[in-house]
Amino acid sequence: MGIRVYKPTSAGRRNSSVNDYAELTTDKPEKSLCKRIKKSGGRNHHGVTTSRFRGGGARRIYRIIDFKRKKDGVPAKVATIEYDPNRNCFISLLHYADGEKRYILAPFGIKTGDWVESGLSCEPKIGNVMPMSAIPAGMEIHNIEMRAGQGGKLVRGAGNAAKIVAKEGNWVTIILPSGEMRMIRKECRATIGRVSNPDHQNVRIGKAGRKRHMGRRPHVRGCAMNPVAHPMGGGEGHRSGGRHPCSPTGVLAKGGKTRNPRNPSNKRIIRRRKSKRQKQLNI
């Protein structure tokens, strides 16, 4: 595992780096667990752009991931560790003892030939899935369910891990990578260990072309547009906007909360996530 830096043969090469993908064992996915996905270009079913600056990019094949891990008591062997173009972590192909094959998010440190299992009675080791009530406090976990049987929703990004800090009654308290502390039902499942590919955060894109390959189009500032295209556009000379930052439809961009205040999980949050400034100051 590591980051590869090329010789500076051009400005893009000088400022870019790539993952060496040393952990991967194959470049051919399991066909039975793949399907085509249709690109939207940021447009809804009416053809109206709802997410700006998206479009193009390399063609991707979607890998069907098992986020639920409900095959209790059936051991599975790690057959391969593969690249997935749809996420920033690696994935692993499991061969279950009954012959079934499934993809999972690869935990950091897992190797081909390892055996993993799910259920209440399995051993708390990397790659195994257990209810939160059975996982010892202080262990790192990922792919955490918010409702029992729903499938993992939290902590699925490369290199991330949450930590169990307390258990009380039917609730387990965890700290998420963002710094948020929240309570989860003890019946919810989680995978033990950290998500693979922690070096993803150290990769430098280096040039605009690599972003285009990812399906991201140029992000244009509103104040650089014409008045007909954006409320902040126009003006003689270089203007900084002339009004508070807003979207093309006039929705204010700063100061407003975007989270739904009626979200039922709000009352289970003990401490809100830390801002970037707080993380820099280690508050």
- 3-state class (DSSP) for residue 8: coil
Instruction: Check residue 263 and give its pLDDT.
Output: 86
β-sheet bridge partners, residue 227: none
Handedness of CA 45, 51, 52, 56 (dihedral sign): negative
How far, in Å, CA of 180 to CA of 157, rounded?
16
Instruction: Check residue 279 and give its pLDDT.
Output: 67
> What phi, psi does 162 have (nearest 5°)?
-105, 170
- Identify which of 135, 131, 163 has the alpha carbon closest to the alpha carbon of residue 147: 131
Instruction: Check residue 2 and give its pLDDT.
Output: 86
User: Per the structure block, which two tokens stand in for 110?
Assistant: 């897992």
Q: What is the DSSP letter of 222?
A: G
Instruction: Check residue 72 and give its pLDDT.
Output: 93
- Domains in the chain, start-ordered, CATH in brackets? 3-200 (2.40.50.140)
Exposed/middle/buried for residue 261 (C-beta within 10 Å: 0-12, 13-18, 19+): exposed
User: Over the Cα atoms of the chain, what is R_g?
Assistant: 22
Instruction: Check residue 207 and give its pLDDT.
Output: 94
Instruction: Check residue 1 and give its pLDDT.
Output: 64
Angle at alpha carbon of residue 65, lines to 67 and 170, rounded to 5°: 0
Tell me the pLDDT of the chain (283 aa) as tens digits. Answer: 689 999 999 999 999 999 999 999 999 999 999 999 999 999 999 999 999 999 999 999 999 999 999 999 999 999 999 999 999 999 999 999 999 999 999 999 999 999 999 999 899 999 999 999 999 999 999 999 999 999 999 999 999 999 999 999 999 999 999 999 999 999 999 999 999 999 999 999 999 999 999 999 999 999 999 999 999 998 888 877 778 899 998 988 888 777 888 888 889 999 988 776 676 677 6
β-sheet bridge partners, residue 185: 171
The single residue listed with the structure tokens 């556009």 is: 233
Distance from the first to the final alpha carbon of the chain: 31
Instruction: Check residue 283 and give its pLDDT.
Output: 64
Cα distances (Å, whole numbers) of residue 262 to 176, 229, 259, 266, 274: 21, 34, 9, 8, 21
How far, in Å, CA of 56 to CA of 58, rounded?
7
Instruction: Check residue 91 and give its pLDDT.
Output: 97
The single residue listed with the structure tokens 């499938």 is: 151
Q: Cα 168 vs. chain centroid, distance in angstroms?
A: 29
Structure confidence by residue, pLDDT tens digits, 22-70: 999 999 999 999 999 999 999 999 999 999 999 999 999 999 999 999 9
